[in-house]
């Protein structure tokens, strides 16, 4: 099967016409039976406001048709939804804009300093102006998020963002002060109101995220305008901003909150993926020659959401064999797309884009395991001149229940291991500016899918605790009293009674084994961050957590404590889910609170067109 891509916008698949992205259109050659009929250019995905999205997709995909609906009525409905949300934003804008400025200062500034040096900083008087963020082509539908307790209903809102604010954003680079003359952000945002309730606050929480990295453009004014608007410098700045935003707000990364402490953070902010798309890029042929010798040094990049995988380079060939395999976790099946790029590696200078292709994940799900030939598009989005790729895509849904017939409750084959880190208690106070984080390493990770064996949480930076001077003085007075009691050989029991201490603290202070009570000079650190691993043999897999720290100005990282959790223990449990508080060795007073979960990947989907019930079940997969 050879798939031809055209550049006309196709609302079934794409988020809207994008000059740099290929889009599905009607295929005149008739080589691909599933080519959809071309709809109105520029409409958003062609989605209709229907109650059951899965039935709509089931009807749509095999025949390439969308459920009919009057386009004028649809536009009026979109305008009504957008007007309501935009009105809310106008009133909330002073508070939202301050939140965005705080994100820039807290996240983007540190990323920029890594790229451009420590002399870069945002001016704290910056603001985003009076023109609020506005949405268009807004769509709402109800979805079901399955959990081990059953299912919860979510309200999903999807909207296009095209924002050009009247901002005043100033940065300092050394002694030079610069300002943004223009900023534009274009992308697609999803708002998930999670867990509908029959009582206030009516939802358990809210998560907000982009489907793909948004398009950002900037222009500067100030003393260094000429330098910063030069393309290489501007691209470096844009890359730093985009990278920071991608790590914060592009799926699977999200911002949001829970509306009460009774609701679990990870259920709202870290839903499990819908499944894994196994993509194999086998080979290419007739690629463009980008080098002087009439050849190229091609490699593959596969992108979806914030995930990016790169193949090894194949040298001096226009018909390379890649045999490159990745396992892409998919979180938003209806909306996510997957992009394959072919690049020429240059030893000097920047690499050259040879061609690319982009598909919605729902289309790749329908392929089965058939090897397909795909025409690449050039940078202008035109097919026919950039060569072809041979690829295979197979969908494996994530199962909530353990598949039948797996003896002893032990899963076989690829399994998702989720590890959420809530917090750690009794961490010693450290020098101001010291960073703390947790690393997680899992055994038996499926390496052929290019997935990491080790991951880490965001880094908590030690601030000067409120009242730390008073605490130090209080501790000194206490230790002076302990010294007097020790001179009179007072017993630990009497010491605990006189100084109002726990008996364990009194014994440690009396014997000189402790320099302070456990409750003094300690802190609790909350992360609410998570890890996900795909493992091949879960029964023999284990996840090791390590609490680490790094003092300011030091390049040395210190391991403060470790613990190991067996995946087999989770599999033996009834729900394959556990919330545990575990001790860190060799300091058992430090306790790590974790949420652990195991989910098995189902069988690969090979005959999608004959199994339309698959699409009906997509919204019911676990999160």
| Peptide bond before residue 586 is cis, with ω within 30 degrees of 0 | yes
Other CB atoms within a 10 A radius of the CB of residue 372 amount to: 18
**Of 588 and 437, more confident:** 437
Residue 311 has a pLDDT of 94
What number is the average pLDDT over the span 551-559?
Answer: 89
Residue 121 has a pLDDT of 80
Q: Looking at the predicted structure, is the pLDDT value of residue 194 above 50?
A: yes
What number is the average pLDDT over the span 294-320?
Answer: 94
- Distance, CA of 538 to CA of 569 (rounded, Å): 10
Q: Looking at the predicted structure, is the pLDDT value of residue 336 above 80?
A: yes
- Under the banding of pLDDT at 50, 70 and 90, the label for residue 14 is very low
DSSP state, 254? -
Phi, psi of 598 (to 5 degrees): -125, 130
Give the fold, CATH level 3, of 275-397: Immunoglobulin-like (2.60.40)
Residue 265 has a pLDDT of 93
Residue 38 has a pLDDT of 30
- Distance, CA of 230 to CA of 232 (rounded, Å): 6
What number is the average pLDDT over the span 44-48?
Answer: 30
- Distance, CA of 9 to CA of 40 (rounded, Å): 8
Among the listed residues 177, 168, 169, the one whose alpha carbon sits nearest the alpha carbon of residue 120: 177
Could you tell me what percent of the chain has a pLDDT over 70?
76
- Distance, CA of 120 to CA of 229 (rounded, Å): 17
Residue 402 has a pLDDT of 60
Which position has the token pair 């995909």?
61
For the stretch 80-134, pLDDT in tens is: 677 887 888 889 988 888 887 887 777 777 767 766 667 778 777 778 888 888 8
- Under the banding of pLDDT at 50, 70 and 90, the label for residue 464 is low
User: What token pair was written down for 82?
Assistant: 């957008």
Could you tell me what percent of the chain has a pLDDT over 90?
34
- Give the β-pairing of 435-442 and 460-461: antiparallel
Other CB atoms within a 10 A radius of the CB of residue 152 amount to: 19
Residue 33 has a pLDDT of 31
DSSP H helices, 104-211, are 109-116
**Of 534 and 222, more confident:** 534
- Under the banding of pLDDT at 50, 70 and 90, the label for residue 321 is very high
- Distance, CA of 277 to CA of 160 (rounded, Å): 26
pTM, two decimal places: 0.72
- Distance, CA of 596 to CA of 594 (rounded, Å): 6
For the stretch 525-547, pLDDT in tens is: 999 999 999 998 888 899 999 99
Other CB atoms within a 10 A radius of the CB of residue 570 amount to: 22
**Of 55 and 488, more confident:** 488
Q: Looking at the predicted structure, is the pLDDT value of residue 229 above 80?
A: no
Q: Which residues pair with 583 in a beta bridge?
A: 591
Residue 471 has a pLDDT of 65
**Of 521 and 342, more confident:** 342
Other CB atoms within a 10 A radius of the CB of residue 528 amount to: 16
Residue 224 has a pLDDT of 60
Of the options 1.10.1750.10, 2.60.40.150, 3.40.50.2300, 1.10.3720.10, the CATH number for the domain spanning 415-463+481-600 = 2.60.40.150
Say if residues 11 and 45 touch (Cβ distance below 8 Å).
yes
Residue 253 has a pLDDT of 92
- Distance, CA of 47 to CA of 159 (rounded, Å): 12
For the stretch 113-126, pLDDT in tens is: 766 667 778 777 77
Residue 508 has a pLDDT of 81
- Distance, CA of 99 to CA of 503 (rounded, Å): 46
Residue 22 has a pLDDT of 34
Residue 63 has a pLDDT of 35
- Distance, CA of 328 to CA of 307 (rounded, Å): 8
Q: Which residues pair with 30 in a beta bridge?
A: none
Phi, psi of 290 (to 5 degrees): -105, -10
Q: Looking at the predicted structure, is the pLDDT value of residue 351 above 80?
A: yes
**Of 184 and 236, more confident:** 184
Ramachandran area for residue 506 (φ above 0: left; ψ -120 to 50: alpha; else beta): alpha
- Distance, CA of 540 to CA of 564 (rounded, Å): 13
Q: Is 281 helix (H, G, I), strand (E, B) or coil?
A: strand
- Distance, CA of 396 to CA of 618 (rounded, Å): 11
What number is the average pLDDT over the span 572-578?
Answer: 78
User: What token pair was written down for 32?
Assistant: 């691909």
What number is the average pLDDT over the span 146-171?
Answer: 84
Residue 408 has a pLDDT of 45
Residue 615 has a pLDDT of 40
Torsion of CA 567, 568, 572, 576, to 10 degrees: 20
**Of 466 and 181, more confident:** 181
Residue 412 has a pLDDT of 63
Residue 377 has a pLDDT of 94
527 Cβ contact list (under 8 Å, min separation 6): 421, 422, 423, 424, 437, 438, 457, 458, 460
Q: Looking at the predicted structure, is the pLDDT value of residue 614 above 50?
A: no
Mean pLDDT taken over the chain: 78
Q: Is 188 helix (H, G, I), strand (E, B) or coil?
A: strand
Q: What single string gives the DSSP state of each residue in 24-49?
A: ----TT---TTPPPP--TT-STT---
For the stretch 382-434, pLDDT in tens is: 888 899 999 999 999 888 766 544 444 555 678 899 999 999 998 887 778 88
- Under the banding of pLDDT at 50, 70 and 90, the label for residue 43 is very low
- Under the banding of pLDDT at 50, 70 and 90, the label for residue 472 is low
DSSP state, 539? G
What number is the average pLDDT over the span 235-243?
Answer: 81
Residue 192 has a pLDDT of 95
Q: Looking at the predicted structure, is the pLDDT value of residue 148 above 60?
A: yes
């Amino acid at each position: 099967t050879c798939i031809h891509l055209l550049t006309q916008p196709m609302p079934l698949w794409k988020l809207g016409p994008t000059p740099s992205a290929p889009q599905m259109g009607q295929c005149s050659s008739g080589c691909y039976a599933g080519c959809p009929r071309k709809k109105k250019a520029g409409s958003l995905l062609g989605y209709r406001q229907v109650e059951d999205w899965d039935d709509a997709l089931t009807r749509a995909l095999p025949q390439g048709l969308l459920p009919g609906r009057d386009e004028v009525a649809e536009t009026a409905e979109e305008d009504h939804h957008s007007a309501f949300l935009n009105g809310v934003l106008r009133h909330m804008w002073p508070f939202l804009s301050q939140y965005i400025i705080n994100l820039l200062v807290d996240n983007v500034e540190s990323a920029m300093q890594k790229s451009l040096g420590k002399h870069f900083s945002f001016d704290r008087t910056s603001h985003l102006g009076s023109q609020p963020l506005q949405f268009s082509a807004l769509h709402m539908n109800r979805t079901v998020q399955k959990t081990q307790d059953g299912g919860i209903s979510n309200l999903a809102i999807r909207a296009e963002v095209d924002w050009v604010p009247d901002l005043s954003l100033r940065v300092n680079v050394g002694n030079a002060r610069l300002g943004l003359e223009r900023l534009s952000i274009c992308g697609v945002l999803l708002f998930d109101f999670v867990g509908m309730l029959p009582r206030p606050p009516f939802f358990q929480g809210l998560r907000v995220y982009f489907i793909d990295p948004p398009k950002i453009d900037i222009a500067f004014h100030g003393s260094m305008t000429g330098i910063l608007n030069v393309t290489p410098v501007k691209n470096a700045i844009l890359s730093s901003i985009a990278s920071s935003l991608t790590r914060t707000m592009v799926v699977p990364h999200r911002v949001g909150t829970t509306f009460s402490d009774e609701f679990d953070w990870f259920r709202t902010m870290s839903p499990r993926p819908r499944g894994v798309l196994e993509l194999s890029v086998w080979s290419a042929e007739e690629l463009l020659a980008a080098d002087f010798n009439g050849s190229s040094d091609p490699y593959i990049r596969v992108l979806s959401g914030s995930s990016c995988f790169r193949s090894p380079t194949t040298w001096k060939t226009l018909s390379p064999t890649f045999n490159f395999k990745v396992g892409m976790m998919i979180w938003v099946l209806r909306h996510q797309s997957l992009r394959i790029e072919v690049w020429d590696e240059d030893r000097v200078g920047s690499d050259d884009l040879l061609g690319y292709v982009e598909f919605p994940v729902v289309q790749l799900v329908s392929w089965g395991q058939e090897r397909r030939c795909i025409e690449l598009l050039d940078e202008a989005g035109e097919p026919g001149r950039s060569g072809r790729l041979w690829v295979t895509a197979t969908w494996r849904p994530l199962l909530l229940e353990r598949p039948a017939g797996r003896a002893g409750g032990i899963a076989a084959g690829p399994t998702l291991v989720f590890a959420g880190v809530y917090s750690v208690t009794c961490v010693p106070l450290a020098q101001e500016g010291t960073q703390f984080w947790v690393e997680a390493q899992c055994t038996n990770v499926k390496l052929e899918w290019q997935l990491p064996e080790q991951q880490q949480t965001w880094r908590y930076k030690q601030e000067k605790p409120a009242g730390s001077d008073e605490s130090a003085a209080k501790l000194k007075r206490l230790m002076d009293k302990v010294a007097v009691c020790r001179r009179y050989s007072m017993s630990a029991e009497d010491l605990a009674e006189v100084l109002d201490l726990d008996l364990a603290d009194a014994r440690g202070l009396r014997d000189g084994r402790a320099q302070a009570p456990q409750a003094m000079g300690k802190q609790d650190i909350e992360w609410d961050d998570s890890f996900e691993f795909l493992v091949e043999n879960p029964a023999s897999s284990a996840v090791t957590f390590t609490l680490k720290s790094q003092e300011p100005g030091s390049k040395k990282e210190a391991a403060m404590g470790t613990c190991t959790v067996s995946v087999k223990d989770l599999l033996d449990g009834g729900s394959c889910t556990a919330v545990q508080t575990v001790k860190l060795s060799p300091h058992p007073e430090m306790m790590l609170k974790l949420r652990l979960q195991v989910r098995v990947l189902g069988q690969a989907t090979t005959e999608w067109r004959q199994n339309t019930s698959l699409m009906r079940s997509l919204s019911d997969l676990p999160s």
